Every structure is written in C-alpha cells, then in structure tokens.
Chains A and B, each alone.
Chain A
C-alpha cells in the first residue's frame, strides 16, 4: 500500500468522522435554550399537547380569530412523545398534565415559571387562583409553595362517589348519605350486594375505582385518613409496610378478589368507568364532581347521585388525585403566544363553559358562581361538593418520582398479591423496596 492511498483513506475517515459529528453538534444547538422567538414577530404556531377533547375545533377557531398571527397545532397527550420532544429540545409550547405529579417536572427544571406572566396579565390574577393551583408551585425543594409552574383547568375531589339509584333500588340497597361518609369496608359489602353475575361474565359491577387511572391517589388518601403518610418528611422515601398502608393495599386486594369491579387483571376495554356506568352496568364509581358533567344532556342517565368520599379511618380526607392543568416547558419556543392561549383557556370562554356545565370545580374563585344547579341531580351534587370542600387536602407529591411510575409499580405488586404469588405483607415490602430504589435514583439526579 503506498503513501497516497493511506493519506486518502485517512482523509475519508476524517470526513466520515466530521459527517458523523455534525448531527451531534446540530442536536446540541436544537437543545440550547435562548433560541426562542418570543412569539411577537408576526406568525407563531403554538404546539399544544393535550387531551383530544380539551379544546374543541370551535374554540380553536375562536382563539385564532381573536389572535391573528397565532395558529394552534393540537397533538394528543402522549407521555412517550413528550419525553422524546423534551429530549430533542423542541417540546410543545403547552403541555397538559396534573398538578399532582408536577413536582417531578419542576424539580428537573423542565417547566417555565409563570409568575412574570401572571404579574403582567389582565385576565389571570394571582389572588383569583384557587388553592388547588398551589400543586403547581415549586420552591426548589417542595411543591405547594414558591413560584407557579402551571395553572389548573378544573379540579375535583376525586375520592367522591357517584352512584346509580336505579341499580340500588333493584338490589334493595339503601341510598348513600349525602353528608356522612361510608367506610371502605362497608362500601365493599354494598358493592358485593350490587354486583350481578351472569354465568362467567359480570352483567353489572358493584363498584368502579378508575383503577386504570390512579392507584397512588386513592391509596395515599386512605393512609391520610388513618392519620399516616406514605412518605417521609423530605419525600425521598416511601413506606408501604406500615399498618395503615398495608390495610389500604389489603383493601384493594380484597376488592379485586371479590370480583365486584374492574381491575388491571379484569380491565374495562376503554380503561374508564364512564361508559359502563352510563350504560347502567356499574352501580357506584369513585370519581370527582366533574363526573356529573356527563349527565346534563336530556338523553343522559337520570338516576345519578353524588356521595361523600368513603373513609378508612377516623379522619375525613377527600383530595384531588390529579388537578389537570397546563404548563409551559422551559424550552418552549413561543411562550408569549402560549400564555395568550393559557389566558383564553383558563379564564375565557372555555373556562366559563366548563364551569357552567359542572365539568369539575373551576380553578378560579371568580368562576365558582357559575356551577350548575338547574337539574335536581346538579343541585344535590353541588351541595355534596360544597360540603366536601372542607375535607380537601393536598396529597404528597415527591419530586423524585413520576406519578406514572408510582402507579405502575403499585399495580405490579397488587397483581402479584391478587394472584396469590405473594402475600400482602411480602408484596408491600417488595413494593417499598422497588419504589425507594427509584426514589434514590431520582434524588441522585435532582440532588
């Protein structure tokens, strides 16, 4: 081999290396902050990642007409896609997500502090925000206080119950009290009476827990009701081995074994209690005030009622399991335009429509008066919801773990206990170990 070939090979290898490095460099620049245009220079397209029904086409058109130069590109909520977009440095301009669970995003420095926007806003005012918005606050070590990183669109106390009186009548079960809570043990007994089996299938479920949505929320609330807490003080360690946590875990196992409602081992095809409940095939469902918004149309189920959150101990507690809202990623390109949409959605026509339909409690104090009380069930639900407000408590939100990981890990060990592969005691111990490992990783990352 002569010198010339060696040189030309070297040149080729070098050029290949440069070519290889180019996308890496490009990747870095994509990820660098400060490249945002601010959204003031004429045209801007806001990418919004939210639920498919969060913002209707009509509302999008209305907003775009009122704000010439701003276009909305709606992409449907997908945690995986959000992760990749964040990783690529080109996140959506607005992301829908729960106030509970925001601590993790905030601690990782992924969200924008909205305080400067709020101070300048003519529409959204700091003193008009309901306390539920505090779930989006992060002071650098704890959620609940400090700068605001998101705004709740609507919220509910999600441990509340909704039930179908027709199915209660059919099973000759007395209605639930509108002021006094049912105990969880009692609730399971009632659910058994209300469940109607038909051969191998269940014709009608006694109780739905929205298992596919959350397990951390209700279990955490059950522990609070017994005067305990799943977390230690700095939220870096979780403990499912206490008597209170084990009792909550055991209740879920008993619920699954009783076959009175959907679980992850016997799931509903649409992963939500609503359609089954609305079809008259579920007697009770554990859902917040928002659930009533489904029954305002003339053709909807008429025999619905709301009841207070059940209790596992002495203390009444009815927290919100999520508090869905919007936040603006730190690396969003069109923050000013995004804030305009935020103002429209949180205080404008969509917010008023949500409040007056009873789709959750408004996150703004000024909208509380709009809650519907026309129909008998709306009036009754309004009273129950007003009475439950005194039992609203925030759930602990650890910055070191995502809510999704909490839920799937709890589910994993619940399944093992339900299938009798593990005793409840062992499952709780293993669950504690696994979650604490994840928490330790998170703590190491965030510091």
Chain B
C-alpha cells in the first residue's frame, strides 16, 4: 500500500495533540465517566457500604421540588445578570472609549474590582451590606430609610446581583478591545449619511463587535448558571453547617448540588444532578450557538456563508 505524502511525520501530530488529549481524558472524560458511574449508586463519599441503584437517582431528581426550584432560580438569576452585565460592560467601554482626560486612570478604576479575589470581595460586600454597621444602611439612614437586612431572604438575591455587577470591569476591557477594532471610517460614513449616535451604535458598532458580544454572552451564561462561590460566601453567618445556611433566594443549583454532596452525603444523587445540569447547559449553549447565526456577523466567511456560496 502506498504511503500518502505528508509534510510532517504522524508522530509530530500526536506529540502536539498528546498533552491536550491526555489532559482531556484524565481531567474531563474520566471524571465525567466516573461521575456518571457514581450517579448510578447510593455512594455517600466515605463509607465502603454502597450499592448500584440504577437510574433511581435520576428518577428521584425529576420529582425533587427543591432541585427544580433551584434550577428556576438559577435561570432567573442568569436572565437578569447576563443582559445587565453585557449592557453594563458595553456601556462602560463606550464611555471609556473616548478622548477623556486621565482615561488610563478611569480604565484602571473600572477594571480594578474584577481583579480582587472573590473571597476578599465577598468579605468587603458583607461589611457593606451589614445590617447594623454597614455603609449602605448608613447612607440609606441619612435619607430616612430604616435599616434593611441585606443578607437574608429575599433581599439577599439583589445583594448577590449587585456583587456580580460590581465585576463589570472584566467585561469592559474585552468590549474596549472590540470597540477599538471598529473602523472609524464606517462610523463616520454613517454620520455623514445622517445617522444619529444611537443609530450608529445600533447599526454599525454593535454588529461590528457582535462576535465579541456573543463570546461574552456564552461565557457569562455558563458562568452564571454555575454560580456557586458568591452565594456561599454572601451569607450572614457561618452557622448551621456551611451550604445549609445559604438563604433560600440564593440557593442556586450548584449550591443545592453542594448541599447534596457534603451535607446529605449523597454523592450518587449529587452526581446525577450534575449530569442533568451538564445536559441542560449543553442544550442551552447549542440554542445560543444556533441563534448566533442570525445576529452575529463575522468579517471572514463563516461556514453558513460558505455553504450558501457553493450552492
């Protein structure tokens, strides 16, 4: 059999792909498979006494009101946080992307919150939100609003959203990079044609940066759905067993999963919850990818356009 001509030997290909493949197998594929196997058991994480229970964990999950409530809450949280974050970071970037005095300083100021470690950030916000000694209630007190307990149900949900929006600077930097890639002549041409500021933004700027917007939306949706550390840290106290103290309005899906794993010691059930969540996120990402065809514009040919061209 004749050997096909190749520019490089095969082993070069495998050598390059190897580290990724090993990483993927060891750190993603195997844990996922392991997680799936665990989800078919009643394993409690430590005791040698466990047995196979088939799909029972999955069946139980479909009737678990708490899990579905947590999922609904997480979806609502994502639906609020993602548009606000994308719009907010774009807004900040638009403000900064002008000839301002000390623009570097402003950029730094807006960006700084997103480099603060999450634990430090949570501690800071807990102090801000403190009912008796927090600065927020002190300010509200000046205008005659009585003290509000920001860290309990149901207000804590809004506190969480505030904390999330505080980190807009990270998105702003990415948006800024995108904005600086928009050709000035396009915007000027639109202005010459009589377009107002809003029209330029809507019909020139946003379409030009839509791939970046799309990237932001996808990563933020996944990030918000998987939110976990912030609700766990943003509790009033560290009383009754960790995850159990997260107020109900902040009991997101991952918090619920954590509780099943480490409070109820139900590793099997928790794994089943994770698998279902994985499928939901995968589905949602696919829907978003699909929708992107109608609103994301690439400057190079996309597959769809290429298909159209060859037809």
Contacts and interface: CB of A to CB of B under 8 A. Distances in A.
Interface of A: 2-3, 5, 8, 12, 16-17, 19-20, 23-24, 79-80, 83-84, 86-87, 108-110, 199-201, 211-213, 215, 264-271, 402, 404-405, 407-408, 411-412, 415, 419, 438, 441, 444-447
Given A3-B1, A19-B22, A268 B237 contact: yes
Contact of A405 (B21, B237, B264): B264
Contacts of B47: 108-110, 445
A200 B145 CA distance: 10
A19 B24 CA distance: 12
A267 B237 contact: yes
A86 B46 CA distance: 5
Contact of A264 (B49, B239, B262): B239
Nearest to B42: A445
Interface stretch (B85-93, B172-180, B240-248, B288-296): B240-248
B242 A80 contact: yes
A446 B51 CA distance: 11
Interface string B229-256: 0000000111111101100100000000
Interface of B: 1, 3-4, 10, 14, 21-22, 25-26, 29-30, 34, 42, 44-50, 130-132, 146-147, 149, 152-153, 236-242, 244-245, 248, 259, 261-267
Contacts of B50: 445
Given A3-B1, A19-B25, A269-B130, A83 B239 contact: no
B263 A270 contact: no
A83 B46 contact: yes
Nearest to B50: A445
A86 B240 contact: no
Contact of B1 (A2, A84, A271): A2
B272 to A, nearest CB: 13
Contact of B241 (A199, A404, A446, A447): A404
Contacts of B25: 16-17, 19-20
Nearest to A263: B152
Contacts of A411: 240, 244
30 contacts: A2-B4, A8-B10, A16-B22, A17-B25, A20-B26, A20-B30, A23-B30, A79-B262, A83-B45, A83-B261, A84-B45, A108-B44, A108-B46, A108-B47, A109-B48, A201-B132, A212-B240, A264-B240, A264-B245, A265-B152, A266-B152, A269-B130, A404-B240, A405-B264, A407-B240, A408-B241, A411-B244, A412-B248, A415-B153, A441-B266
A19 B26 contact: yes
Specify the main secondary structure of chain A where it touches its partner.
Answer: helix
Contacts, number: 122
A110 B46 contact: yes
B289 to A, nearest CB: 28
Contacts of A444: 42
A267 B244 contact: no
Contacts of B21: 16
A404 B132 contact: no
The 7 closest A-B pairs by CB, nearest first: A212-B239, A408-B244, A86-B46, A108-B47, A271-B237, A404-B241, A200-B146
Nearest to A402: B265
Nearest to B26: A20
A2 B5 CA distance: 12
Nearest to B4: A2
Contact of A23 (B26, B147, B248): B26
Contacts of B42: 441, 444-445
A213 B22 contact: no
B30 A211 contact: no
A269 B237 contact: yes
Contact of A446 (B34, B45, B49): B49
B239 A267 contact: yes
B248 to A, nearest CB: 7
Contacts of B267: 87
Contacts of B242: 79-80
A37 to B, nearest CB: 21
A445 to B, nearest CB: 6
A269 B132 CA distance: 10
Given A16-B21, A269-B130, A212 B26 contact: no
B240 A83 contact: no
Contacts of A266: 149, 152
B197 to A, nearest CB: 45
B45 A87 contact: yes
Contact of B238 (A8, A16, A271, A407): A271
B29 A20 contact: yes
A3 B152 CA distance: 66
A267 to B, nearest CB: 4
A80 B240 CA distance: 13
A22 to B, nearest CB: 9
Contacts of A213: 239-240
Contact of B45 (A8, A86, A200, A268): A86
Contacts of A19: 22, 25-26
A80 B242 CA distance: 8
Contacts of B1: 2-3
A80 B261 CA distance: 9
Nearest to B237: A271
A110 B44 CA distance: 12
A83 B237 contact: no
A19 B267 CA distance: 25
Contacts of B46: 83, 86-87, 108, 110
Contacts of B30: 20, 23-24
A212 B46 CA distance: 26
A12 B19 CA distance: 12
B45 A447 contact: no
Contacts of B241: 79, 404-405, 407-408
Given A83-B261, A445-B47, 12 more contacts: A19-B25, A23-B26, A24-B30, A108-B44, A264-B245, A265-B152, A265-B153, A266-B152, A267-B152, A269-B130, A411-B240, A419-B153
A412 B265 CA distance: 18
B224 to A, nearest CB: 23
A16 B4 CA distance: 26
Contacts of B3: 2
